[in-house]
Amino acid sequence: MKKLFLALSLSLVMMGAGAQTVYDAMNIAQKDLNGTARFVGMGGAMGALGGDVTTNGTNPAAIGIYRSNDAPITFCYNMNPTESNFDGNRFEHNKCRWSFDNAGFVYAMKIGNQTALRYANFGFNYTRSKSLYRNLTMNGLMGAFDGYYLSQVRTMAQQAQENDAYISTDFDSPEIWNDYEAGWLGVMGVKGGLLDGDLHAVVPDEVDALFQSRERGGVDQYNFNMAFNVNDRFYFGATIGAYDVDYKKYALYDEDYGNGEGYSLENFNRIYGSGFDVKLGFIARPFEDSPLRIGLAVHTPTWYALTYETGAELAADVFLDDNPQTTRLTASTYSDLNGPMVRDFKLETPWVINASLGYTVGSMLALGAEYEYEDYSSMKFKYPEGDEMAWETGESDLCLKATHTLRLGMEMKPVSQFALRAGYNFTSAAFNDDAVKALPVNSINTDTEFSNSKELHTATIGLGYRGKMFYADLAYKYSWQKADFYPFYNEMDNDIVSAMPTKVDNSRSQVLLTLGLRF
């Protein structure tokens, strides 16, 4: 926690106005288990087994195992229920949608049996690597600490007081939004009459808070692959990945003090852009007479060039002691700026190490296992010119940690044309227990909410049919993850203080159907 206070103090000398946070970045950086129905049905544990087009995104060498051409297409039906519980106040949301999440092909080029190089294969695969369709609601009393009511307004006051020594623009001026030393949350507090003349918070009674959010969009991934088969024992591969990002979030936060007093703050955020990475992979059969395969893959960071758009609107009814006739006050960045504020930035995700095992028993049984390591504390933010964004990168180190992912999968063929599949994934939590969404004092963010996700579990089952050329696979995936949600936090007497967390259960059910041809 001492490191957090040091970072907070260093923010006073940061150049430029901060926008994006580690919480925004994590929505983009982490990936879902997705792909063909066979890949998902086996829990994605096919990095050493190969034979599926989706494996070019985990171990590129797995495409080298192909001996024929392949062209699959996948359709999905998604159900995204979210349940939140704050002090007994429960809310449930369920977002259902159809999607087209995967398509690809593999061209297998046989070189011959007389040379060490047996096959040179080429592949392409499109996958929806991250899907973000979530709704969340929480409501309840925020409580008090040392006689002070907990409130987002106290966060506004702290930022405004720190701004006041640096800004050269009057808080009431429309130009304040363009002052690079001004934090928008504090400006909202001043313009909304939520702070008194000395920039202190006005919180007349215990806060009854309401929060609602709606997230849409995600990340599309396009993988271009080349892989080689050497003596049917060693396989090498490389994949270049291209990413397309489009993520939107709307959030409403409302504080009610009773007697008709309170305020509401709406936030509109969007992140969009593109990125690329490189993946290298290797598979070996260490024993010539054994079907055991060992795989190893390395993924470079994904280098993103992104744009952050944000805007906020506030409406407040708080009656100050020195002006009891105060009526509704409003503040809108959209009105003063004639549109959203736009900031470009670069994001560099962590390196990924993937190790895998595969074992087959004739053509009746296939077993796969994978382990993946990714250290999110090393995630980096940069300005468009390439200079590091010290605040945001520092927050990665403070709030995030390495994750460990285990994937297990099995395919059994009771008869040659039909297959039964099952899989399981576990990913450890990426957020530290004491992580908070700290904003620089000159941030243009006005959304203070944050959610610290716990470990992620995924269970899958599937079945498949194989004809001479045509095949069809069906899979069902169920994932579940708990999280602690906070609408804001206050800093009081060098302590980080917040209301009790809202307990959130995020789950996702997905049905996948893949139709394909092998020829």
Which domain does 194 fall in, by range? 2-23+135-220+250-462+478-518
The conformation of residue 169, written as its DSSP 8-state character, comes to S
| Angle at 499 (CA atoms; ends 495, 503), nearest 5 degrees | 125
Considering the domain boundaries, does residue 69 fall inside one?
Answer: no
Q: Is 427:455 a contact under the CB 8 Å cutoff?
A: yes
Sequence-separated (6 or more) residues with CB below 8 Å from residue 131: 32, 34, 78, 99, 101, 218
Q: How many distinct structural domains can be found in the chain?
A: 1
For residue 154, give Cα distances in angstroms to 157, 185, 187, 487: 5, 10, 13, 13
Alpha carbon distance 272, 276 (integer Å): 14
Q: pTM to 2 decimals?
A: 0.90
Low-confidence ranges of the chain (pLDDT < 50): 1-15
Q: Is 253:156 a contact under the CB 8 Å cutoff?
A: no
Residue 410 half-sphere exposure toward CB, CA atoms < 13 A: 9
Considering the domain boundaries, does residue 199 fall inside one?
Answer: yes
Considering the domain boundaries, does residue 266 fall inside one?
Answer: yes
Helix-helix angle 152-164:184-191, to 10 degrees: 100
For residue 335, give Cα distances in angstroms to 156, 312, 338: 21, 10, 5
- Chain Cα centroid distance, residue 269: 15
Alpha carbon distance 152, 147 (integer Å): 16
The conformation of residue 473, written as its DSSP 8-state character, comes to E
Alpha carbon distance 461, 477 (integer Å): 7
> How many other β-carbons are positioned within 10 Å of the β-carbon of residue 355?
16
Alpha carbon distance 47, 28 (integer Å): 23
Considering the domain boundaries, does residue 430 fall inside one?
Answer: yes
Considering the domain boundaries, does residue 390 fall inside one?
Answer: yes
Alpha carbon distance 16, 440 (integer Å): 10
Give me 302's structure tokens. Answer: 């994904």
> How many other β-carbons are positioned within 10 Å of the β-carbon of residue 466?
16
Give the alpha-carbon dihedral of 153, 495, 486, 308, to 10 degrees: 70
Considering the domain boundaries, does residue 369 fall inside one?
Answer: yes
Alpha carbon distance 349, 300 (integer Å): 9
Q: List pLDDT tens digits, range 220-242.
A: 999 999 999 999 999 999 999 99
Alpha carbon distance 358, 47 (integer Å): 8
Considering the domain boundaries, does residue 211 fall inside one?
Answer: yes
Considering the domain boundaries, does residue 230 fall inside one?
Answer: no
Give residue 324's pLDDT. Answer: 55
